[in-house]
Homo-oligomer: A and B are copies of this chain.
């Protein structure tokens, strides 16, 4: 008797359709301008149905931002081939920045917007699994660097946060348009140039 299984499949299918519609609209118009009614229109259901699949709007965008972390993490996959941890750290930075510049809206959702984090706070899961995983990945690499003699006199946790902050700062000032009005000339190259300066500094440590 496969009826409950089929029902389960159908539920999952509709959930996925909601998410796909939400993603389409979100990439078109951003989080704020994507309304529940817009999503409902696109999947040709009534607005109410969405609340049978998601607690609220935040949960939808939390689910979307998970997809972003999958994308980012899969890009990080190539790093296994970089054996020296210092080179790997720099390659990580490059991938991180590249991802952000190529998917600014997704990056914004993952690391700037409050919606997904609000959902983590309001649900009973005590932790932001996605972010935690990515941060650990960075910390492990930095740990290896320290083991190889780099970053002497530095504390691993604080240094990891600093390095994350640096790349996040580079891309988030750009995404939130704080540099296009300050460095109007070279606004298209400044993030890359800043990252290169950062690598120069890392090489000295």
The answer, among B153, B161, B166, B170, for a CB contact under 8 Å with A183, is B161
The answer, among B169, B196, B200, B201, for a CB contact under 8 Å with A168, is B169
Q: Count the copies.
A: 2
A155 in contact with B193 given A167-B169, A179-B161, A182-B135 (CB within 8 Å)? yes
Interface size class of A (residues with CB under 8 A): 35 or more
Q: Once the chains bind, are B127 and A158 in contact (CB under 8 Å)?
A: no
Say which one of A9-17, A35-43, A112-120 lies at the interface with B: A112-120
Q: Once the chains bind, are A173 and B162 in contact (CB under 8 Å)?
A: no
Q: Once the chains bind, are B127 and A181 in contact (CB under 8 Å)?
A: yes
By a beta-carbon cutoff of 8 Å, the part of chain A in contact with chain B is: 111-114, 117, 120-121, 126-128, 131-132, 135, 153-155, 157-159, 161-162, 164-170, 172-173, 176-179, 181-184, 186, 190, 193-198, 200-201, 204-205
Besides A155-B197, A201-B201, 11 more A-B contacts (Cβ < 8 Å) are A112-B112, A114-B176, A128-B178, A131-B181, A131-B182, A132-B182, A157-B183, A158-B190, A158-B197, A165-B169, A169-B170
Q: List 5 A-B contacts (CB under 8 A).
A: A111-B176, A111-B178, A113-B176, A131-B182, A158-B190
